[in-house]
Structures are given as C-alpha cells and as structure tokens.
Structure 1
C-alpha cells in the first residue's frame, strides 16, 4: 500500500498578518523579530539558513536579494526581496549598525541569534497574537505557508523549487496536489 503523505499546518493570511503586527518595531528586538518573521514568510528560508545569514548575504542592488550561502543541500541560491522585506531589512541593518560580527540576526549581546532563540521568539508572538491557539507557530510553519501561498498564486513549481532549495520536486508536488488551482481552472475549459 502507498504511504499517505500530508502537509503540516500552514498559516492563513489572517494569521500571518496577526503575527506580523505584534513586534514593537520602535525597539531593536521588535524590529529584528519582524525582520526574522518577514524573512521566513517572504522567502521560505529554513531556520538554519536564516541563522547562518551574514550581512553581506543581503543585497539591496536593483530589487534586492538574499543570497543563501549555507544551504541544507550545499547549493547556494538567490531569493529576490519583496518590497516589504526590503524595507524592513534595510531599516533593521541600519539600526543594527556596524559590529564585530557580520551575522545578520543578532541578540542584544551582539552575538549571532541561535535557532532556539528564534523558535522561542516565534512562540512568544504566537501566544501574544493568539495564533498559537489555532496553529503551532514554528519556523517550518512559515516555510510551509510560503510554499502554499506561492502554489495558490500559480508560481511555477520549478521556480518554487529554486526559491526554496528543495532538492526534489516530491515535496512540492504535494503542495500542488492540495493547493493548486489548476483543477478548478481546467474543469471549465472546453465548456465555455
């Protein structure tokens, strides 16, 4: 028998917006945390990739991009910035200033932020926004949400594979099966 494959929980757009509204961006930690959540939400980046980012991995030339150098499969990739992510990361890097460490996301002691701290901060925002009562708030929920939203928007699966760094199309195929809109569009074709 074939094993049944499912996709973990994702955020609705409403839940994602509720999470992104919580950080107090007038503080360094709030601005950093918004930058972290937006980077996760707008790039589909993995937690380890996020905590391994350096300031020089973010480019604001043209439309801007994040260059993931330390990827799970060891293949570097370029992820273009959305307008909102570009604005938040620009403000965060300006606030962060020039330091001895070149890690992008840092804690208040100017050390690289740990994956565990990111997980704890996300749990905190899940609790404050009450999203945690509906969905488990985790870095991977952001990644799954990114994939789902891109599939729903009709993004080509090969482009999505390049953005997310998936080595195989198998995982992305599951998203297309569940969230793809091509069946709804195809069913009416020929009957117009």
Structure 2
C-alpha cells in the first residue's frame, strides 16, 4: 500500500507522508490531523512532537530514516501558508479525518489490501504495536511511543498467541 501513491504529485506525496507517519509512529488519527509544521524536527535523526494527544500528555516520537526523508520532501512541497497545519488539502486547508479515512480506503481497494484486512488509521496503530513487540521492543518503551496511559490499554492492541507464550517460557533461564 505504501508503494501505491504517485509521489510525483502533491496528493501522492502527502498521502505517502501520512501513511508512513501512521505506519512508523503508531500515531492516532486525531493526533496526526492536529500536527503542525513546527511539531516536526529534522535535527539529528528527527522527531515528531505530539502536542495534542488524547490523554493530554505531550510526547516525542523519533523518526525513522525513511519517514524523515518523506516528511522533509512533503514539507518542502507543502510550502509556506497562512496556517501551520502539517497535512493539508489541495486547497491548502487542513486535512480532515474523513479525507484521511477515504484516502486509506482508496489505497486499500487500489492495492487489494482491503480484501485481506481492514484498512483504516487504527489498523496502522495496531500493526505498529504488534510489529514493535515482535521485534523485541520493550513494552514500556512502546507504551511511551504510543502514548498509552496504562499497559492494560496497550495489551488490547497486541494479541499474544500460543507460539509467543511457548517461545517466552524458555527465555531468561539460561544456566538455571
């Protein structure tokens, strides 16, 4: 799905930028649509500073190398406007939640992904959490990245399968 947008057009570059932001940060839809240009930092490896989080606790999410490159290109293409909202429409207005949902649906249908899984912003968030856990990310780090107030809420996002339990039971007992 991330290969589907035509990045030679403004809409395609914007769409790739917000899809990668979802995929590489696990950010919520409301947090994404409230991002301002100044919430991005490209210094060093870069970061997104989520100021308007669901739980009212701001957090900093480091950027992956690919996300940093795409966001820099998008911000340059976006240009300077009368307002500072990061993601905008072709009319230079802040993008709406509905537009993002519709664009994700469009790419899901275009690529056939929607035949296999639900395509929406929350699916990106769940997938982000699952992939981070599978890659060995510390659960407390993941909690901080996603802005979950409690581990109870976070564990709803990450289903624990039987194989995970079987693999985990042997870990940590080397030499005991």
**What TM-score do the two structures reach when normalised by structure 1?**
0.85
Which residue of 133, 155, 159 maps to 2:115?
133
Alignment: residue pair count: 174
8 Å contact from structure 1 (residues 25, 31) kept in 2: yes
Q: Is 2:52 aligned against 1:73? A: no
Moved over 6 A (4+): none
Which residue of structure 2 lines up, in the alignment, with residue 170 of structure 1? 152
Deviation at 1:182, TM superposition (A): 6.7
Unaligned stretches of 5+ in structure 2? none
Deviation at 1:101, TM superposition (A): 1.3
CA distance in 2, matches of 1:99, 1:179: 52
Which residue of structure 2 lines up, in the alignment, with residue 52 of structure 1? 34
**What TM-score do the two structures reach when normalised by structure 2?**
0.93
Deviation at 1:20, TM superposition (A): 0.1
Q: Is 2:99 aligned against 1:117? A: yes
Which residue of structure 2 lines up, in the alignment, with residue 13 of structure 1? none
For residues 52-111 of structure 1, the C-alpha deviation after alignment (integer angstroms, 9 at most, x for no partner) is 000000000111000000000000000000000000000000011111110000000100
Deviation at 1:177, TM superposition (A): 2.9
CA distance in 2, matches of 1:134, 1:91: 31
